[in-house]
A = this chain, B = another copy of it.
Amino acid sequence: MTIETLSTNRSHGGTQGVYKHASAATGTDMSFAVFVPDHAPGAKLPILWYLSGLTCTHANVMEKGEYRAACAEHGIIFVAPDTSPRGPDSNGDEVPDDPDGAWDFGLGAGFYVDATTQPWAKHYRMRSYIEDELPSLLLRHFASADLTRQAITGHSMGGHGALTIGLRGLGRFRSVSAFSPIVAPSRCPWGEKALTGYLGDDREDWQAYDACALLDQGLRVPDLLVDQGEADAFLAEQLKTELLVEACERAGQKAEIRLQPGYDHSYYFISTFLAEHVAWHAERLKA
């Protein structure tokens, strides 16, 4: 369990690094980004996970997210994983991709599931990667990372990831937030394609990957913040924020779900509110 440092840059009073390691979960090399604010020797800093959306790597939020100033101010480590396995696996075989080369399935579109169907099951194990392998790696290689204080956020497909991993985390995360999340993948075209592809036709098997279904099953998170752009072109057909509002009401889940007028699905939107999410998580991580 070694990691290779691909780059480090000093930024906003901390270090933005990019790292690579051979992942047991996916059977491939995986890259991820970590921002560590300057801190006193021996200090332990809480962790905020950021799961990215369709087509992204760790680099999109790292370059466009505007989170470092807030993370430095609040003393929070920011971890941004990739969105799928990529490249040749440890046997030199290429990771399978959508047969039509679509951007909403396969590479860059792991949907944070452990796939059970072929040919996906061997590599597309982003749930295990995010839930188990990467936290262990952080614990071993980042001395300042306090794994007892974690929060999670994400965008779009990564918002879906943050909500479902957060709900299934059973207390692992002190707070969960999301930008423009796919709140009910069982009930939208992106999610139906992905869950059918990775898990098969039995919709019962999809429930563990559907935030609204998990809420209906009784899972909860300590606190939830969601921002959704009202001018988001994917809102009506794919994201369906109103289903999350209703599920939280049914569940009695504490939640603030905000519609932001004029904002779209892009990083121009995310970067506007990500610092506010960092501060919101910081309050809960330090409570």
Contacts and interface: CB of A to CB of B under 8 A. Distances in A.
Interface residues of A, number: 23
A11 to B, nearest CB: 4
**Copies of the chain in the assembly:** 2
Contacts of A264: 9-10
Interface in A1-50: 9-13, 16
A93 interface: no
A12 B272 contact: yes
Contacts of A231: 10
A63 B65 CA distance: 9
B66 A268 contact: no
Interface string A247-287: 00000000000000011101111011001000000000000
A245 interface: no
B66 A9 contact: no
Contacts of A69: 66, 272, 275
A105 to B, nearest CB: 26
A10 B263 contact: yes
A11 B64 contact: no
Nearest to A60: B63
A10 B268 contact: yes
Nearest to A15: B262
B9 A268 contact: yes
Contact of A11 (B11, B13, B269): B269
Interface in A55-74: 63-64, 66, 68-69
Given A64-B63, A64-B64, A66-B69, A271 B12 contact: yes
Nearest to A275: B69
Contacts of A266: 9
A55 to B, nearest CB: 15
Given A11-B271, A68-B271, A69-B275, 17 more contacts: A9-B264, A9-B266, A9-B268, A10-B229, A10-B231, A10-B269, A10-B272, A11-B263, A11-B268, A11-B272, A12-B271, A13-B272, A63-B64, A64-B64, A66-B69, A68-B272, A69-B272
Interface of A: 9-13, 16, 63-64, 66, 68-69, 229, 231, 262-264, 266-269, 271-272, 275
